[in-house]
Each structure stands twice: as C-alpha cells, then as structure tokens.
Amino acid sequence: MKILVVGGGGREHAIIRALKKNPQCSDIWCAPGNGGISYDAHCVDIKATDLEKMVEFAAAEKFDYVVVAQDDPLALGMVDALAEKGIPAFGPNKAAARIEASKVFSKNLMKKYGIPTADYETFDDPAKAMEYILARGKYPVVIKADGLALGKGVLICEDEAAARDGLKEIMEDKKFGDSGNHVVVEEFLTGPEVSVLSFADGKTLKPMVSSMDHKRALDNDQGLNTGGMGTVAPNPYYTPQVAQRCMEEIFLPTMAAMEAEGCPFKGCLYFGLMLTPDGPKVIEYNCRFGDPETQVVLPLLESDLFTIMQACTNGTLADTPVEFSQGAAACVILASGGYPLSYPKGKEITGLTKGQLEGSDVTVYHAGTALKEGTLITSGGRVLGVTATADTLPKALELAYAASEKIHFEGAHKRTDIGRRALKALEK
C-alpha cells in the first residue's frame, strides 16, 4: 500500500510510526515531513496547504490512501479534492472541518443541539461585543477569534480594559488575520482540562484513551500559550463515570448534530473538554488528531491504526475493534529557546542516531527538525517530543525525562513538571 501523510510535525511522525506496525503499509510518504520523519518515510517538499499541488502529486503517484493530519488543508477541502480524483482519505470533508475551522459554527452547533459548552454570543461588530461584555459584567471573559489561529486566537481578559484591548487586537488590528472578522465572547470556565480524541465514520464514534496537554510554555502553567509542551495519557481526571457522561451528553450528540446538519464527521474528532463543577463542557472541537496528544495516544493503541482509519473512511467503524493498552504514556517536548515567541533555527541536535536514542525503548517524535548535509538541526519552535510508555504514569514520566536528558541543542527548553498535576490526581 502506498500511503501519503499530509503534515510535518510530531503528530504526523506518531501517525507514521503507528501505521508502520501494519506490514501492509510498506510504502509511506509524508509531505512536507521533516528531518526526523525522513528516517521513517519518504518526505516530499510540498506545503500541506498547497492543495492543488498535493492533490496533483497524490494522483500522479497513485497513492492508495492519504491521511490529512493537519487542520488547514482539511479546512481548505483537501479530502473533498482527493475524493474527486478517486483517492480515499482519512479526515473530514470541508463542510465537516468547520467544527474546528469556525468557532461561530461550532458554538452555534452546540447551542442548537444542547451540547454543554461555555455560554457565549458571537459578534462581527466590536462595539456590540463590548456592550455585551459590559452588560454581563463578569470577568475574566474569554474572547475567541472565529477562524483557525493556531490555538493562539484565544484571549482571557481579566477586566474591562483588557477586554477592550483584546477586541481591538483581534477585530481592528487583525492580529490573527481575517479570523478576527467575527468573534465569540464566552464565559470563563474552570476545572481540569481533558483531551479526548475519537475515531468517527460519520455515524459511529469510538473514543481513544484520554490525555492531558500542558499548553503554557513554563512550569506551573506560567508563561504564554503554546501548541503544547507535553502530554500524558490516560488523564486521571477522566474517570469511567466522566467518560460515560461525556459519551451521552457530548460525543454522541455531536455526531448526531453533524449528521443532522448534513455534514457527518469522518476522521479524528478531538474534544477539548473542561470538567467544570457543573459537569463536562466542550472548550473546543478539533477536526484532527491533537499535537502533542497523538504522541501519547497512538503508542497505547493496540488495534491496527490503518484498519481503523480505513473503517472511518468506509463507514465500518462499528465492526472494527479499537483497543488500548492499560498502560500509560508521557511525552516531554524539547522546544527552541524563546518559543512561542521568536527563536533561532539551525541549531545542531546531538545525542540521536538516525533521529532516535540508540538502545532505548523511548521514541523521539520529530516536530521541528531538518537534515542539513546529514546533520540533524532544529527548524521549528517545538523540536522533539520524547515519548515513553510504561505500566504506570510515574514510570513513563521517569523514562521520558531521563531520555530527554540525553538529547542536546543550544537553547533547548522543556517544562520540568509534565504530568505533575496528573500524578497528584492519581494520589487522591
């Protein structure tokens, strides 16, 4: 089977590694991929957002299956365009990808179908948005740009002045581009956050093992929001009782809502949940695997990923087993100094042989690496995701941290408290 994975980060690396466990997946390609991924797949330098070129390439090279892993090509309709060429793909079509690509769409969907989420209103006029914030008079208040803003289009405003500044930044200064033409103003929720990725075939949904992301750049959840500095799975706050409630109140209603709206969801549906004192609520949906959640979720998948992905495409997920091991996984991100603001690139990475730690069971997923004349160098903000699995979370964390000490590049930064909150929850 000739398979193309679209994207080029740690998530795509984890997907490729999981696909490779199936001997059928003998010929894996990745576009654009990265330095470390090139040890596991043929990388082709096509931008994930270059829809036309990608589809042309997939057709010319006669791929049997394409996995569109990244959000923007999904939002642009890459799965639809591939289908027109007769190429089956994993991921939602353009209409279904709106569940992530438009916060206005997803919030209205939740309101219409009674799916628990933060109270909100949507606005396209900054003055009206401010009037609403003043009338509610509750702080902090959350302001979200409508479109894809790489997880950065969310402002938590502590007071009136911050809300005014926030609206100006998003709607007038267009800090997040056109995604700021519309905003969602919503209630600030509290509680532990849980990420639940699920497989979906349009009708059936099967959740994966839960996970916990660590979004802030610095220890103790300080510093700026990032794409994610580390993850653990499973998430101890996600008890069987919570899981059942989420299935009944959130997961199944979301699948039914998407079907009723004429855009059944196929692919990986990601639920970003907050376990509030009033029960679990949706913070956000993503229309794709999370990054770095995938790096801890897929290593625990015992069933065959390729079989499941095809079942999602073909609508046969109900008959396809999705089993996870009882163990735990931890991923520690090594980032470039300065991330998520500006950071240097091109730093030599040492400690790895062909991208991995020699003689170790720990896997190094590459996010921002490149090969320059055979030498691995940094090329992004998040550089590597060092991931260990073990019977227990403490053991997985110990293994991942010990392994991360063996890898070096100038200015490398990691959080030292990944999983600490999860461990505390386990002690209770």
Where would I find the beta strands (DSSP E) of 41-105?
42-43, 65-68, 89-90
If one asks whether residue 72 binds ligand GLY (CB under 6 A), the answer comes out as no
Contact between residue 37 and residue 67 where contact means Cβ atoms under 8 Å apart = no
156 beta partners: 142
- Number of residues this chain uses to bind ligand AMP (CB under 6 A): 13
Q: Which is nearer to ligand GLY, 266 or 288 (CB)?
A: 288
> What 8-state DSSP symbol labels residue 408?
B
Q: Which is nearer to ligand GLY, 63 or 339 (CB)?
A: 339
**Block residue for tokens 């642009």:** 76
The entry of ligand AMP, ligand GLY, none near residue 290 (CB within 5 to 8 angstroms by kind) is ligand GLY
**161 burial type by CB count under 10 A (0-12 exposed, 13-18 middle, 19+ buried):** exposed
**Block residue for tokens 């948005």:** 129
Contact between residue 219 and residue 203 where contact means Cβ atoms under 8 Å apart = no
Give the C-alpha separation, 355 to 401, whole Å. Answer: 17
Q: What number of other Cβ atoms are within 10 A of residue 247's Cβ?
A: 15
Dihedral pair phi/psi, residue 355, rounded to 5°: 85, -5
Contact between residue 19 and residue 28 where contact means Cβ atoms under 8 Å apart = yes
If one asks whether residue 118 binds ligand AMP (CB under 6 A), the answer comes out as yes
If one asks whether residue 151 binds ligand GLY (CB under 6 A), the answer comes out as yes
From candidates 254, 286, 310, 379, binder to ligand GLY by CB under 6 A: 286
Residue nearest to ligand GLY according to CB distances in the complex: 290
The entry of ligand GLY, ligand AMP, none near residue 24 (CB within 5 to 8 angstroms by kind) is none
If one asks whether residue 89 binds ligand AMP (CB under 6 A), the answer comes out as no
- Number of residues this chain uses to bind ligand GLY (CB under 6 A): 7
Contact positions with ligand GLY (CB under 6 A) in 215-234: 228
Please state whether beta strands 230-233 and 212-213 pair in parallel, antiparallel, or not at all (unpaired): antiparallel
Contact between residue 171 and residue 126 where contact means Cβ atoms under 8 Å apart = yes
Piece in contact with ligand GLY (CB under 6 A), picked from 49-57, 253-261, 283-291, 333-341: 283-291
The entry of ligand AMP, ligand GLY, none near residue 163 (CB within 5 to 8 angstroms by kind) is none
The entry of ligand GLY, ligand AMP, none near residue 188 (CB within 5 to 8 angstroms by kind) is ligand AMP
Give the C-alpha separation, 354 to 154, whole Å. Answer: 38
Q: Which is nearer to ligand GLY, 10 or 36 (CB)?
A: 10
Kindly state the smallest distance separating residue 326's Cβ from ligand GLY, in Å.
24
Contact positions with ligand GLY (CB under 6 A) in 171-200: none
From candidates 81, 143, 170, 189, binder to ligand AMP by CB under 6 A: 189
The entry of ligand AMP, ligand GLY, none near residue 283 (CB within 5 to 8 angstroms by kind) is ligand AMP
From candidates 40, 72, 201, 213, binder to ligand GLY by CB under 6 A: 213
If one asks whether residue 228 binds ligand AMP (CB under 6 A), the answer comes out as no
If one asks whether residue 242 binds ligand AMP (CB under 6 A), the answer comes out as no
The entry of ligand GLY, ligand AMP, none near residue 27 (CB within 5 to 8 angstroms by kind) is none
Contact between residue 85 and residue 132 where contact means Cβ atoms under 8 Å apart = no
- Is the bond preceding 394 in cis, omega lying within 30 degrees of 0? no
From candidates 293, 308, 401, 421, binder to ligand GLY by CB under 6 A: 293
Q: CA-based angle 333:334:339, to the nearest 5? A: 100
Binding mask of the shown chain, residues 271 to 300, with x at each position contacting ligand AMP by CB under 6 A: -x----------xx----------------
232 beta partners: 212, 330
If one asks whether residue 186 binds ligand AMP (CB under 6 A), the answer comes out as yes
Where would I find the beta strands (DSSP E) of 106-215?
120-123, 141-145, 154-157, 183-187, 193-201, 205-207, 212-213
User: What is the H or E stretch that residue 372 is in?
Assistant: strand 369-372
In the three-class reduction of DSSP (H, G, I as helix; E, B as strand; rest coil), residue 211 is classed as strand
Q: Which residues of the chain form contacts with ligand GLY (CB under 6 A)?
A: 151, 213, 228, 286, 290-291, 293
Q: Which residues of the chain form contacts with ligand AMP (CB under 6 A)?
A: 118, 142, 151, 154, 186-189, 193, 215, 272, 283-284
